[in-house]
Structure 1
């Protein structure tokens, strides 16, 4: 593999890290067998795309705000720090929720769903009002801002109904 191919691969992974974490979470859940499927899938989604993904996003918003803003199609601003701190909070909470009680996982999933669905609304507004179709605004990040919270809420509901029949905590 030559240097340009390696550089292209690194760029692809960094640009699609959230999607890679989402797919990895689904694969990990499929390979783990001791718990009901909804429960283990929820845990892996909390750990990887929400937890690790939040830490990853926080790192870029806090350490490389210009790069993060450019990826989203924004101008850099002091709000990068605020976004980075919110991402850090979700990242830490998502990692902590991986093996936590159902109530803790539910709280993290619900709060994160509100945040991500709000992000999705912001992305749509940017697409419509500013014509912002940058990869970090209209690409995989946008779709995950919808798919991830919808899936985690659905998994919470399925997992809760399973608990009502046979409590696991």
Structure 2
């Protein structure tokens, strides 16, 4: 595999992170409060970074199991079907985390659950990398970075929202309106 092809295949998972960052950045330029900005970032992260990437992995493992096995550096296995549905579960949880009714605690819990699966996968990738010199694009590079970053950022954003003072719960223009009528 030539260097350009390897780089493109290895870096593709990072597309979902870039999409989430770009979308959140654009949407939060005029946020009324820090809480509103954090919630927007959490929604974009949940939908684009975790949700869409997990749906992509679900489809990839179901539609092209041989291609996925080759990309990872393994032979085809019945476990790929299970990995597809584990990714589907991550996508469903991510879309729940993106809903307006999701609480910071829910988002934190979803981030932790995603971490349990994805950080376990990351440990497996690192093991295969060092124990078996598996440098396939689906084992190292972008997939390894996303396995680590997706839950870590989700957990951090939810934790950060929980740490905001209660006064941040209402956006400044709403507080001004409430004070005016009090």
Normalization by structure 1: what TM-score? 0.84
The structure 2 residue matched to 1:140, chosen from 142, 153, 164, is: 142
1:31 and 2:26 equivalent? yes
Alignment size in residue pairs: 159
Q: Which residue of 1 is the match for residue 111 of structure 2?
A: 109
User: Who wins on radius of gyration, i.e. which is larger?
Assistant: 2
Q: Post-superposition shift, 1:156?
A: 1.6
Normalization by structure 2: what TM-score? 0.78
Q: Which residue of 2 is the match for residue 4 of structure 1?
A: none
Pairing of 1:3-18 with structure 2 (within 5 A): 12=8, 16-18=11-13
Q: Which residue of 2 is the match for residue 50 of structure 1?
A: 50
Q: Structure 1 stretches of 5 or more lacking a match? A: 1-7
Which is worse superposed, 142-151 or 14-23?
14-23
Q: Which residue of 2 is the match for residue 59 of structure 1?
A: 59
Q: Which runs of 4+ in 1 moved over 6 A?
A: none
Q: Structure 2 stretches of 5 or more lacking a match? A: 171-182
**1:61–1:84 contact (8 Å) kept in structure 2:** yes
- State how far apart, in whole Å, the 1-side matches of 2:165 and 2:135 are: 42
Task: Give the aligned CA root-mean-square deviation in angstroms.
Answer: 2.2
**2:125–2:139 contact (8 Å) kept in structure 1:** yes
2:85 is paired with a residue whose SS is: helix
Q: Which residue of 2 is the match for residue 5 of structure 1?
A: none
1:166 is paired with a residue whose SS is: helix
- State how far apart, in whole Å, the 2-side matches of 1:38 and 1:122 are: 32
- State how far apart, in whole Å, the 1-side matches of 2:53 and 2:152 are: 17
- State how far apart, in whole Å, the 1-side matches of 2:59 and 2:165 are: 36
Q: Which residue of 1 is the match for residue 96 of structure 2?
A: 96
- State how far apart, in whole Å, the 1-side matches of 2:89 and 2:68 are: 18
Q: Post-superposition shift, 1:22?
A: 0.4
- State how far apart, in whole Å, the 2-side matches of 1:104 and 1:130 are: 38
Q: Post-superposition shift, 1:116?
A: 1.1
Q: Which residue of 2 is the match for residue 20 of structure 1?
A: 15
1:124–1:165 CA distance, 2 compared to 1 (3 A): farther
- State how far apart, in whole Å, the 1-side matches of 2:13 and 2:143 are: 7
